[in-house]
Amino acid sequence: MSQDDPLFHPFQLGPLTLPNRVVMAPLTRARAGEPGDFPHAMNAAYYRQRAGMGLIISEATQVSPQGKGYAFTPGIHSDEQVAGWREVTDAVHQAGGRMHLQLWHVGRISRPELQPHGDTPVAPSAIKPNAQTFISAESGMVDVLEPRALAADELPGVVEQFRAGAENAKRAGFDGVEIHAANGYLLDQFLRSGSNQRTDAYGGSPENRVRLTMMVVEAVKEVWETERVGIRISPTGSFNDMGDDDPMTTYRVLAEQLQATGIGYVEMVEDSFQCNHAKGRPESVIDAVRGAYTGPYIANGGYTPEEARQRIDAGRCDLVSFGRPAIANPDLPERLRHGWPLNDWDSSTFYDGDEGGYTDYPFYQ
């Protein structure tokens, strides 16, 4: 590519100088050590291979046992997990990389088999989604059940789970954190009218539905300097049976409040294999968010490298996060820089397993 390739203009993300604008999206790979949901040497090798990314955002990581929704996913709520993640961040930093941890609570996308004491998973409202998860290596995908609606006096405890996860991420050596408020998980469930039918201070109007997410943002900011805190949203996504009556208004309200906090960045799922063109004229919703939030903006949308360059050039985003290409190409930035061909990904090895389809994708050179 030309020396003026927009993907390779450095970018200042708060205190981090990113050498390129190629971000590794948060990608669940379901390869944590068990029992205990802890990262280990194989995970460290996987992330170290990808240290050339401008920024790595970790796979979604549960902030508490209640936040777990899939087998073999990692947590950030025990000393063993913190030690495992420290092994990962040390490997990434030794290779010259930068890495944020994504803080995750799945809410209703879980099963009693994955919950402490076999508890019923929690949600803003007791609405059973048309969604599935996996509870063991043998289970295959199984339907989730009707969740239990959280009482208002439980919500400060949920906020505390995120704050504690943020503290543990700091102990584990990350450069920052990303709050997961996308893709049908707990904060997204509170944000959107299709999953939030509460009549208290956390439901009804957009201002009420964004309340819990903003409480989490403020709590995490008490742990990390604001510029090191990001958030992921998916305003028009339908994955995990999600929808909103008026995503433009809902997410404009959220974006206005995020703008007021000075949050470090917003990563937005603009379109993907998760059907995010299903409802709400995505470009209009993107424009509503971008009109209200003017800070660093990461676009995620299954974009080709050329589409990513065009969106950066047009001022539609500052950085682009790549998912499946980052799985299949540990040296993705160098391939994009030189125009080298990309490896194809093998979707059958995305979740659960060993090194196959994880650390064994070849580098170009």
Top-level CATH class of 6-349? alpha beta
pTM beyond 0.95: the answer is yes
16-18 and 22-24: which strand pairing? unpaired
Cβ neighbors of 3 (< 8 A, separation 6 or more) are: none
Rg from Cα positions in the chain? 19
User: Quick check: is 185 catalytic?
Assistant: yes
DSSP 57: E
The C-alpha torsion from 296 through 244 and 189 to 191, rounded to 10°, is 50
Residue type (1 letter), 85 = W
DSSP calls for 254-313 = HHHHHHHHT-SEEEEE-S-TTTTTSSS-HHHHHHHHHHH--S-EEEES---HHHHHHHHH
Buried b (16+ CB within 10 A) or exposed e, 226-253: ebbbbbbbbbbbbbbbbbbeebbebbbb
Catalytic residue, chosen from 47, 70, 185, 361, is 185
Residue 242: closest CA among 318, 303, 187, 324: 187
Q: Where are the domains of the chain?
A: 6-349
Tokens 């943020």 — which residue?
166
Coil, strand or helix at 75 = strand
Per-residue confidence in pLDDT tens, the chain, 365 aa: 556 999 999 999 999 999 999 999 999 999 999 999 999 999 999 999 999 999 999 999 999 999 999 999 999 999 999 999 999 999 999 999 999 999 999 999 999 999 999 999 999 999 999 999 999 999 999 999 999 999 999 999 999 999 999 999 999 999 999 999 999 999 999 999 999 999 999 999 999 999 999 999 999 999 999 999 999 999 989 999 999 999 999 999 999 999 999 999 999 999 744 444 444 456 789 999 999 999 999 999 899 999 999 999 999 999 999 999 999 999 999 999 999 999 999 999 999 999 999 999 999 98
Q: Answer yes or no: are the C-beta atoms of 242 and 184 closer than 8 Å.
A: yes
